[in-house]
């Protein structure tokens, strides 16, 4: 050791070294422990979370026929920042060549991507969709070139495809989620698809499955280097569940065929289960039109079509029920003691007042005859007697109470309200006018049975949807109850059983009357072949939009109903002429599996009643 | 021969060798982490940096062994010759050099590239030790330091001017620490600290604000001096007042000069690097890119780090020079606060040990050389880690024993093992 006077200076050198290390440790503490922002930054920069889309659940009909399945499509994604990060500039020409687009198209699309007003989720760090819905042939050239193109990636997804060009409104379609969807359900991210309407929307959570995720590592040039932590954080997608629906696709196809060239709808229900066998609405379209690249153009066309194809007439259009209403009217009047099956009322044919009869038949008539002949005066008198049973009373009290009873009874057939426990997403309520409504219109004492007489024959303020009509006739077939009509073949729906306010004992006579319609009355020309019995009721509904609407409701066989049908054809004229054949052909198809009345099928299916209705099959 | 060999291994400082081995092993793991790519399956594949680094470590230890086997008198005697030869090599390097990233400091010898500047630190330290270790040499005045300053300044100037390697040249400034220990006035160190302070202040707050600060401090000091006069006039000297005013004037001039020098003397990229560190300029894509990425990498390591080979930032090449100058990023990212602090503490122990070794030498040569080594290590640690942590401007110098690279590893090994050889000889001499 060298003893010198400067020996103490080695402490200064030691202190410098210690000071430096202490400063560094403090700095490390600040960077690594206190400041947490760096952790997130690091994940954003070098880890890429890539969504893997699960295949959507398939849809089968009640007989196990595949209706809706998936086809693979490809999306081209760009990370704008990574494109310009490579050592050489981004090879736009090679990219355009691979995509088979022009340079101008590329520039225009890049402009759209960068334009925050058109693409609010734009970020130069995150993948942006450059082009979507490409099939495997379209994408092949790009797949070969992609290694040269930094920032470009291909994402695989699936698109819907359809076995039959049918049931477009029922099945619904899939579209990109809106900002609102994203806000409501954190599952969705911008660019995801979800069911927009129909079953695709109702059963979205069942069908969509669960998205998977890959956590990939990206190097400084934006090239993917593999899975982070050997895929430990990756999640496989879970495929959506398949669903089986209640439709019989053959029956649906027939219904749509018969409705061609007309505006209208046809609904068929299995009364014992409430399962909807067919739910046809025309005009309609081939569901394949709303997939792929042409989706938006086609959707716009459908939206602008004056015949409103996007509306599901079967569940959303509301009509006066016309004479078909006489079936429930009979039941309610029986129940509430307005009439008995033997009550007779006189009819003066077209000379009757205040409502004239449109048919010529003997007078007086009993209930059976009234149904068979669709006698208007009978129903006016029965309705009046039912309402006036206790007189009008002080301040119209007694009359209004009776009317309320009538309303409640009608509502027990689920008229004037939606099927809340059903899986049909788009429904209208229809209308059974309330006491309040008339009180408001005429004052509490200002209305009498006479005031609302049109309701007696289904022409007044009562409005129904074809679905409600069909459910109504299914309820009659069941003699007093209905199972909520539904589309998904799931046993839990069978518990949705609703009793009507009308006792079971009143139903046979009405059913018998409906049977006589098909043998002696307005439906006699369309009795089912092979001696299959049926019950039915025609309706010819006056309306403000031109010719009468043709309506028919019915069920078959008469003694053990297997199918209930309601058909509405707008502006077609007599219910017997246009609606009854469609309904009975559907019954025949469903009950026998074939159509023997081929001439009738051809004639109805090819007749164009509305020239504006476009065929989009 | 047998006895000498025996004695070297008996008296060599095993503590230092242990610390060295810890650093080498940990360094190699981090080079592996920094250069690990996902298609690499074999850690020892020599086409990758981790494999090559293993070769460098092996040869470095071999060089160390050879030095330990060499007669210490031969080492001392070769000081001047090596210094002279190295100056010639440094002069020749720009001519022979392959242009690597704008610097002319590498020469290629067969399969390897060598950076002579890494070795001239050793020869300069030896030459300084030889000159200042002469019998009877003592730092009594400025004149005594003239020759040492020339010895130090010659390679510095060559490297800075001819090779354009500012970072490597600045390392020679670390010998100031040894000068201080050997008698240079401590005011130089203080002046250095003050200069850095004023420089930062002048650039950050502007020359005017810096000058006002200087004047305010001057006033306070003069007030204090007059307070002393009032209290005890015997301790008062007018000369103190004059010196204070002189220093104040120099400082003001320095502040004004800083601005000018920054804008006119420094090169563009140097200006930007300094501006980024001082927070004057925010340039995450340009000059600030390295440091910004480096801070993200370190910060993302958090307390325990992401684990060996699990760092994403460094591995994905976000941090440039990640295996060489920015190796400490990988430490921070993969080993977290715990690992980084541990490495710093190992360095601190090593440096304190080297100070102890330098202090216990019996001859001036060994002690002076020892302090040169201490200075070099402190300087490299301060500048390198400071740069990685965003506390210093980006100056590209390696972290001893951790950074990837043969030249630096060999250079530091030669420095260290020579000191260990001289230290072991101390006991031999005693016997």
Which of A522-526, B243-247, B274-278 is predicted least confidently? Answer: B274-278
- The pLDDT of residue B188: 81
CB contact under 8 A, A43 and B300: yes
B213 and B66: one domain?
no
Residue A61 distance to chain B (closest CA, Å): 49
- The rounded distance, in Å, linking the Cα atoms of B164 and B266 is 12
B168 and B256: one domain?
no
CB contact under 8 A, A14 and B313: no
Burial of A41 (0-12, 13-18, 19+ CB in 10 A): middle
Check residues B283 and B165 and name the one with the higher pLDDT: B165
Nearest residue of chain B to residue A224 (CA atoms): B316
Of A14, A32, A226, the CB nearest to B355: A14
Residue A200 distance to chain B (closest CA, Å): 41
Whether the pLDDT of residue A117 is over 80: the answer is no
- The rounded distance, in Å, linking the Cα atoms of B277 and B287 is 10
- The pLDDT of residue B312: 66
B255 and B398: one domain?
no
Beta bridge partners of A482: A498
Half-sphere exposure at residue B62, Cβ-oriented, CA atoms within 13 angstroms: 7
- The pLDDT of residue B137: 86
- The rounded distance, in Å, linking the Cα atoms of B385 and B380 is 8
pTM above 0.80, yes or no: no
Among A546-550, A580-584, B334-338, name the most confident range. A580-584
CA A533, chain centre distance (Å)? 33
- Give one DSSP letter per residue of A440-463, joined into a string: HHH-TTS--TTTTGGGGGT-SS-B
Contacting residues of A for B133, CB less than 8 Å apart: none
Within 10 Å of residue A318's Cβ, how many Cβ atoms? 16
Q: What is the mean pLDDT of chain A?
A: 88
B408 and B285: one domain?
yes
Q: Per-residue pLDDT tens for B196-235?
A: 888 877 877 778 888 888 899 899 988 988 888 888 878 8
Residue corresponding to tokens 């006489």: A326
In-domain check, residue B356: yes
Q: Per-residue pLDDT tens for A280-332?
A: 998 999 998 988 777 888 889 999 998 899 999 999 999 999 999 999 999 99
With bands split at pLDDT 50, 70 and 90, how would you rate the model's confidence at B302? confident
User: Which of A10, A23, A27, A28 is the best residue to mutate to test the B interface, defined by the most B CB atoms within 10 Å of its own CB?
Assistant: A28
Nearest residue of chain A to residue B184 (CA atoms): A6
Cβ atoms of residues A477 and A277 within 8 Å: no
A76's CB contacts (< 8 A; 6+ apart) are A99, A129, A130, A131, A132, A134, A139, A142, A152, A153, A154
| Nearest to A436, CA basis, from A400, A473, A383 | A400
Residue B164 distance to chain A (closest CA, Å): 26
B37 and B140: one domain?
yes
B282 and B255: one domain?
no
Whether the pLDDT of residue A355 is over 70: the answer is yes
Q: What is the mean pLDDT of chain B?
A: 83
- Grouping H, G, I as helix, E, B as strand and the rest as coil, residue A550 is strand
Q: Per-residue pLDDT tens for B378-401?
A: 999 999 999 888 888 878 889 999
Which of A217-221, A421-425, A544-548, B160-164 is predicted least confidently? Answer: A217-221
Of A39, A217, A225, the CB nearest to B299: A39
Nearest residue of chain A to residue B320 (CA atoms): A220
Contacting residues of B for A9, CB less than 8 Å apart: 180-181, 186
Q: What is the ipTM of this complex?
A: 0.88
- The pLDDT of residue A487: 94
Beta bridge partners of A162: A68
CA B344, chain centre distance (Å)? 15
In-domain check, residue B189: no
A65's CB contacts (< 8 A; 6+ apart) are A163, A249
Tell whether A29 is within 8 A of chain B (Cβ).
yes
A235's CB contacts (< 8 A; 6+ apart) are A212, A213
Cβ atoms of residues A428 and A319 within 8 Å: no
B177 and B301: one domain?
yes
CB contact under 8 A, B182 and A29: no
Of A10, A42, A217, the CB nearest to B355: A10
- The pLDDT of residue B2: 46
Residue corresponding to tokens 């009795």: A527
Contacting residues of A for B300, CB less than 8 Å apart: 38-39, 41-43
- The pLDDT of residue A464: 95
Which of A563-577, B95-109, B154-168 is predicted least confidently? Answer: B95-109
Q: Per-residue pLDDT tens for A254-266?
A: 999 999 999 999 9
| Nearest to A366, CA basis, from A513, A534, A149 | A513
Tell whether A1 is within 8 A of chain B (Cβ).
yes
Contacting residues of B for A29, CB less than 8 Å apart: 337
- The pLDDT of residue B358: 93
Nearest residue of chain A to residue B317 (CA atoms): A220
Whether the pLDDT of residue B101 is over 60: the answer is no
Whether the pLDDT of residue A374 is over 80: the answer is yes
With bands split at pLDDT 50, 70 and 90, how would you rate the model's confidence at B271? confident
With bands split at pLDDT 50, 70 and 90, how would you rate the model's confidence at B43? low
CB contact under 8 A, B336 and A32: yes
User: Which of A6, A11, A12, A13 is the best residue to mutate to test the B interface, defined by the most B CB atoms within 10 Å of its own CB?
Assistant: A13
CB contact under 8 A, B177 and A16: yes
Half-sphere exposure at residue A332, Cβ-oriented, CA atoms within 13 angstroms: 28
B251 and B375: one domain?
no
Which of A20-24, A489-493, B5-9, B131-135 is predicted least confidently? Answer: B5-9
Determine the longest span between alpha carbons in chain B, in angstroms. 79
Cβ atoms of residues A535 and A524 within 8 Å: no
- The pLDDT of residue B1: 43
Contacting residues of B for A219, CB less than 8 Å apart: 316-318
In-domain check, residue B401: yes
Cβ atoms of residues B80 and B134 within 8 Å: no
In-domain check, residue B307: yes
Q: Which helix or strand (DSSP H or E) is residue A554 part of?
A: strand A546-556
B333's CB contacts (< 8 A; 6+ apart) are A42, B297, B298, B300, B301, B305, B306, B311, B312, B313, B314
- The rounded distance, in Å, linking the Cα atoms of B131 and B144 is 11
Of B183, B300, B348, the CB nearest to A38: B300
**What 3 state SS string does A367-412 have?**
HHHHHHHCCHHHHHHHHHHHHCCCCCCHHHHHHHHHHHHHHHHHHC
Architecture, CATH, for domain A249-302+315-606: 3-Layer(aba) Sandwich (3.40)
Of B348, B361, B364, the CB nearest to A18: B348
Whether the pLDDT of residue A219 is over 70: the answer is no
Check residues A137 and A119 and name the one with the higher pLDDT: A137
With bands split at pLDDT 50, 70 and 90, how would you rate the model's confidence at A150? confident
What CATH number is given for A48-244 in this structure?
3.90.1310.10
B167 and B238: one domain?
no
Tell whether A15 is within 8 A of chain B (Cβ).
no
Whether the pLDDT of residue A57 is over 70: the answer is yes
Pairs across A and B, CB distance < 8 A: 133
In-domain check, residue B309: yes
- The pLDDT of residue A46: 63
Sequence spans of domains, chain A: 48-244, 249-302+315-606
Which of A102-111, A140-149, A317-326, B81-90 is predicted least confidently? Answer: A140-149
- The rounded distance, in Å, linking the Cα atoms of B154 and B79 is 15
Tell whether A30 is within 8 A of chain B (Cβ).
no
Whether the pLDDT of residue B39 is over 60: the answer is no
Of A31, A46, A47, the CB nearest to B299: A31
CB contact under 8 A, A32 and B382: no
Last residue of one domain, picked from the residues B265, B284, B318: B265
Beta bridge partners of A463: A431
Residue span of the structural domain in which B198 resides: 194-265
B78 and B173: one domain?
yes
Whether the pLDDT of residue A492 is over 70: the answer is yes
- The rounded distance, in Å, linking the Cα atoms of A550 and A576 is 7
CA-based radius of gyration for chain A? 34
Whether the pLDDT of residue B114 is over 60: the answer is yes
Can you point out the beta strands (E) in A99-163? 128-134, 152-162
- pLDDT above 70 covers what percent of chain B? 86
Average pLDDT of the residues in B3-19: 80
CB contact under 8 A, B359 and A35: no
In-domain check, residue B271: no
Nearest residue of chain A to residue B329 (CA atoms): A28
Check residues B101 and B236 and name the one with the higher pLDDT: B236
B244 and B142: one domain?
no
Measured between alpha carbons, how far is residue B8 from residues A227, A400, B67, B354 in Å?
A: 52, 121, 11, 18
In-domain check, residue B270: no
B287 and B358: one domain?
yes
Measured between alpha carbons, how far is residue A329 from residues A270, A324, A326, B123, B188 in Å?
A: 23, 9, 5, 116, 113
- The rounded distance, in Å, linking the Cα atoms of A562 and A523 is 19
In-domain check, residue B426: yes
């Amino acid at each position: 050791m060298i003893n010198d006077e400067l020996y103490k200076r080695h402490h200064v050198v030691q202190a410098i070294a210690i000071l430096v290390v202490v400063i560094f440790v403090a700095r490390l503490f600040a960077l690594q422990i206190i400041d947490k922002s760096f952790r997130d930054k690091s994940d954003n920069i070098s880890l890429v979370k890539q969504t893997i889309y699960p295949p959507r659940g398939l849809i089968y009909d009640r007989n196990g026929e595949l209706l809706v399945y998936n086809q693979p499509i490809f999306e081209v994604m760009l990370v704008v920042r990574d494109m310009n990060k490579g050592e050489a500039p981004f090879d736009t020409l090679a990219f355009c060549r691979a995509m088979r687009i022009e340079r101008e198209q590329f520039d225009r699309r890049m402009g759209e991507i960068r334009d925050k007003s058109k693409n609010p989720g734009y970020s130069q760090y995150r993948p942006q969709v450059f082009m979507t819905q490409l099939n495997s042939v379209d994408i092949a050239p790009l797949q070969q070139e992609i290694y040269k193109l930094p920032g470009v990636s291909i994402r695989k997804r699936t698109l819907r495809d359809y076995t039959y060009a049918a049931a477009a409104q029922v099945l619904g379609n899939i579209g990109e989620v809106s900002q609102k969807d994203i806000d409501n359900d954190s599952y969705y991210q911008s660019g995801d698809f979800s069911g927009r309407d129909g079953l695709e929307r109702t059963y979205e959570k069942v069908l969509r499955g669960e998205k998977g995720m890959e956590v990939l590592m990206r190097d400084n040039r934006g090239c993917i280097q593999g899975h982070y932590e050997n895929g430990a954080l990756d999640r496989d997608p879970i495929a959506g569940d398949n669903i089986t629906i209640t439709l019989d696709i053959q029956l649906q196809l027939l219904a749509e065929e018969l409705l061609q060239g007309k505006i209208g709808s046809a609904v068929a229900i299995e009364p014992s289960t409430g399962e909807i066998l067919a739910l046809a609405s025309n005009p309609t379209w081939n569901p394949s039109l709303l997939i792929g690249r042409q989706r938006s153009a086609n959707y716009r066309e459908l939206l602008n079509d004056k015949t409103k194809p996007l509306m599901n007439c079967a569940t959303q259009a509301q009509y006066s029920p016309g004479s078909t209403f006489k079936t429930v009217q009979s039941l309610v009047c029986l129940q509430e003691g307005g009439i008995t099956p033997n009550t007779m009322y006189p009819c003066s044919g077209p000379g009757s007042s205040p409502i004239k009869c449109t048919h010529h038949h003997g007078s007086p008539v009993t209930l059976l005859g009234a149904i068979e002949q669709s006698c208007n005066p009978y129903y006016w008198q029965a309705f009046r007697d039912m309402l006036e049973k206790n007189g009008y009373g002080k301040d119209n009290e007694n009359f209004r109470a009776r009317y309320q009873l009538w309303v409640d009874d009608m509502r027990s057939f689920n008229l004037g309200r939606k099927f809340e426990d059903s899986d049909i997403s788009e429904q209208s309520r229809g209308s059974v006018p309330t006491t309040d409504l008339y009180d408001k219109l005429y004052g509490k004492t200002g209305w009498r049975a006479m005031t609302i007489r049109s309701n007696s024959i289904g022409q007044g303020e009562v409005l129904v949807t074809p679905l409600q009509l069909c459910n109504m006739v299914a309820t009659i077939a069941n003699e007093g109850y209905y199972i909520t009509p539904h589309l998904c073949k799931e046993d839990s729906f069978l518990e949705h059983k609703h009793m009507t306010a009308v006792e079971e004992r009143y139903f046979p006579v009405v059913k018998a009357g409906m049977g006589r319609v098909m043998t002696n009355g307005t439906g006699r020309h369309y009795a089912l072949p092979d001696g299959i019995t049926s019950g039915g009721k025609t309706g010819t509904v006056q309306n403000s939009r031109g010719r009468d609407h043709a309506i028919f409701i019915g069920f078959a066989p008469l003694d053990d109903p297997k199918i209930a049908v309601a058909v509405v054809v707008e502006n077609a004229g007599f219910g017997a002429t246009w609606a009854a054949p469609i309904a009975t052909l559907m019954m025949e198809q469903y009950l026998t599996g074939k159509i023997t009345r081929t001439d009738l099928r051809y004639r109805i299916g090819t007749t164009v009643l509305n020239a504006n209705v476009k065929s989009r099959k | 021969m047998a006895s000498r060999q025996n004695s070297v291994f008996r008296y060599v400082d095993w503590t230092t060798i242990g610390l060295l081995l810890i650093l080498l092993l940990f360094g190699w793991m981090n080079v592996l982490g920094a250069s690990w790519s996902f298609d690499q399956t074999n850690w020892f594949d020599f086409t990758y940096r981790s494999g090559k680094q293993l070769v460098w470590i092996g040869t470095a230890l071999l060089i160390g062994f050879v030095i330990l086997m060499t007669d210490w008198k031969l080492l001392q005697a070769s000081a001047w010759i090596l210094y002279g030869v190295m100056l010639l090599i440094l002069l020749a390097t720009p001519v022979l050099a392959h242009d690597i990233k704008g610097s002319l400091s590498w020469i290629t010898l067969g399969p390897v590239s060598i950076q002579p500047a890494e070795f001239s630190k050793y020869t300069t330290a030896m030459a300084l030790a030889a000159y200042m270790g002469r019998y009877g040499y003592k730092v009594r005045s400025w004149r005594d330091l003239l020759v040492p300053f020339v010895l130090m300044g010659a390679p510095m100037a060559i490297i800075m001017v001819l090779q354009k390697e500012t970072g490597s040249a600045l390392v020679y400034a670390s010998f100031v620490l040894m000068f201080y220990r050997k008698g240079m006035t401590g005011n130089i160190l203080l002046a250095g600290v003050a200069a850095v302070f004023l420089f930062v202040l002048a650039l950050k707050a502007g020359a005017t604000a810096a000058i006002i600060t200087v004047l305010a401090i001057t006033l306070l000091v003069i007030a204090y001096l007059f307070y002393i006069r009032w209290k005890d006039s015997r301790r008062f000297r007018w000369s103190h007042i004059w010196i204070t005013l002189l220093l104040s004037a120099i400082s003001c001039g320095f502040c004004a000069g800083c601005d000018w020098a920054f804008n006119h003397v420094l090169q563009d990229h140097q200006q930007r690097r300094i501006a980024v560190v001082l927070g004057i300029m925010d340039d995450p894509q340009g000059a600030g890119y390295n440091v910004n990425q480096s801070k993200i990498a370190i910060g993302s390591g958090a307390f325990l780090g992401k684990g060996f080979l699990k760092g994403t930032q460094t591995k994905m090449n976000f941090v440039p020079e990640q295996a060489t100058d920015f190796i400490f990023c990988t430490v921070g990212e993969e080993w977290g606060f715990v690992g980084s602090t541990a490495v710093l503490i190992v360095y601190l122990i090593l440096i304190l040990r080297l100070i102890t070794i330098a202090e216990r030498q019996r001859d001036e040569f060994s002690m002076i050389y020892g302090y040169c080594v201490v200075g070099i290590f402190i300087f490299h640690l301060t500048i390198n880690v400071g740069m990685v942590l965003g506390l210093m401007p980006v100056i590209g110098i390696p972290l001893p024993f951790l950074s990837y690279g043969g030249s630096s590893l060999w250079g530091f090994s030669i420095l260290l093992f020579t000191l260990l050889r001289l230290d072991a000889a101390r006991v031999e001499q005693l016997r």
